[in-house]
Structure 1
């Protein structure tokens, strides 16, 4: 899920969520996300010669389902008509309703293999295994006892259920670089890891409906959470209790941004906020933002800090004291992703023998 800035919240609040016809057989349907400042996910409908295909589906919630079905009706379609579902990434505000769509229509569901593996892991893992992993991870990051205690409470009480543990398994794979098998359309998968290991953007390699009106660029890009007009997506560590591989999600994300800029699409259709043009300019702004943030964190590390203390010192969309429990876990993961990047660049290092681990600038 993306992280909302103050300015983005104001911009979103000024806009009315509505079904939008983008022309050329493309629509966007706003599907609400319960109790979340993002407001909604933009589910895109792409008409094909075999019927409508959805790009993402929205959160698994009755209100969201009602919004999706009524939105499809406004596009002249129904859930029963849906031929296939393309998932940009596994997060519940994108993949949550996929299983219900498949049940109602018989549609296939496609996802990049790396995110499909995350879905399988979430379905198969015991909740206590994930709670043990999270407690161990946060302890190593320097989380205080008052934050760790709620993680132990479910096991003490015998209630270890975690929400969202039964996401739909995809039955097709999105292969990067290949054209997807959509009759009558040219849609190519672009692998853009960072927000998740298997995030994909989808490039519609067709002339933009407004191309004759002076709009320059190459087709349209369904960007998921990778490229958004006023939001910086969350970049945290890829979570896998059974894999000790040292990944670099922020490095993946920055490389992926360069890949998208090179496409130079005429228009970007993101999963949140609104459609926009000039993708290369937005990419430059995001690259500058992360470089500035890394420089700021490096300055903070002139004094050795744990990932938890670093997260407390970072700038978020609200004061640390107002950030709820679950969001603090996400914030620490983002701090750790930035630390990984600094370590990989040779700008920071772990303090030998520190427990919990401290990091310092080099």
Structure 2
């Protein structure tokens, strides 16, 4: 590998680099794709969004590190979202690299690829109706379903992984010690990757952590519902996230290398901040639930990064999913209960 001069590439030392791969029309701006040098060749942690500009940025960044897409030995995916897994197929096509992912997210990829478009529309209409969405919001989904239109969503044809990531085990990376840690919450199969090697700058702590979207320095990941339309299990993604976040806080890593924003230290302090944020949000929701509300009504009144009237159509679906994930947590904690049906409402207890 060569000395890096590209401003979109950061050399972190010890055979680790990050490359800023842009996300089109997204306020996040970019995904930090990490490059890990191994005795078998370069391995990527995530790949970035499937877009020509993003692909060019990845290829340019790899060249700045002295390598190229066709030299990549393997791809480790923190989670299945398109800003992380989008370019995996192109990398594998260029190099023959293997792709590794946790089975829970690999299952989402298989389901998304194989499910007929009408099944997705039916599921969304069913979920949003149960959440209390108004008719004018449901209308476009029903019309698209009835017209037989395929949903134009990123990740509908994402690459199928060919290796499983087994939590708690070291990945097969010659010359490196990279251990997978299952951290569900943002997705059911999200993993963080603990590089169990001395920090190159000898910072105090136990190695470095590729944290994906699980632990970010200045923002918090979306925590919404991640359900199989054919599985009636009632999930608790916020509870999953909190449990796995606390587990990451106890690792004592020297530095965190996240997939967005920038690298940072003092992971335990950041974990405490995020835990406090979610506890404050749950407390605010309890105040709103002094009267019974549907998840849609709750989302309308929750605090977002912009007023509800300015939130786009698709983002409203995400917001309602996050509202329901939070209220499910309150129900599980015995602080709220469901009342009535068609649609269900929740109230504080």
TM-score (norm. length: structure 1):
0.93
The 1-side partners of 2:205 and 2:193 are apart by 15
Q: Is the 8 A contact 1:127 1:162 kept in 2?
A: no
The 1-side partners of 2:90 and 2:297 are apart by 41
The 1-side partners of 2:49 and 2:343 are apart by 36
Matched residues, number: 343
In the alignment, which residue of structure 1 is the partner of 2:345?
358
Structure 2 matches for 1:135-284, cutoff 5 A? 135-163=125-153, 164-211=155-202, 215-284=203-272
In the alignment, which residue of structure 1 is the partner of 2:3?
none
1:233 is paired with a residue of what secondary structure? coil
The 1-side partners of 2:283 and 2:77 are apart by 34
- How far residue 17 of structure 1 moved from its aligned partner, in angstroms, is 6.7
Runs of 4+ in 1 over 4 A off after TM superposition: none
- How far residue 216 of structure 1 moved from its aligned partner, in angstroms, is 1.1
Which has the higher relative contact order, 1 or 2, with Cα contacts under 8 A spaced 6 or more apart? 1
Q: Is the 8 A contact 2:118 2:148 kept in 1?
A: no
After superposition, give the CA deviation of every residue in 1:42-75 in whole Å (9 maximum; x if it has no partner): 0000000010000000011111100100010011
1:286 aligned onto 2:278 = no
Q: Is the 8 A contact 1:221 1:267 kept in 2?
A: yes
After superposition, give the CA deviation of every residue in 1:271-307 in whole Å (9 maximum; x if it has no partner): 0000000000000000110011001101110011000
2:38 is paired with a residue of what secondary structure? coil
The 1-side partners of 2:307 and 2:26 are apart by 17
Q: Is the 8 A contact 2:168 2:179 kept in 1?
A: yes
1:29 aligned onto 2:16 = no
- How far residue 18 of structure 1 moved from its aligned partner, in angstroms, is 1.6
1:74 aligned onto 2:64 = yes
In the alignment, which residue of structure 1 is the partner of 2:107?
117
In the alignment, which residue of structure 2 is the partner of 1:6?
none
TM-score (norm. length: structure 2):
0.97
In the alignment, which residue of structure 2 is the partner of 1:52?
42
Gaps of 5+ in 2: 1-5
Q: Is the 8 A contact 2:227 2:235 kept in 1?
A: no
Match of 1:346 among 327, 334, 343: 334
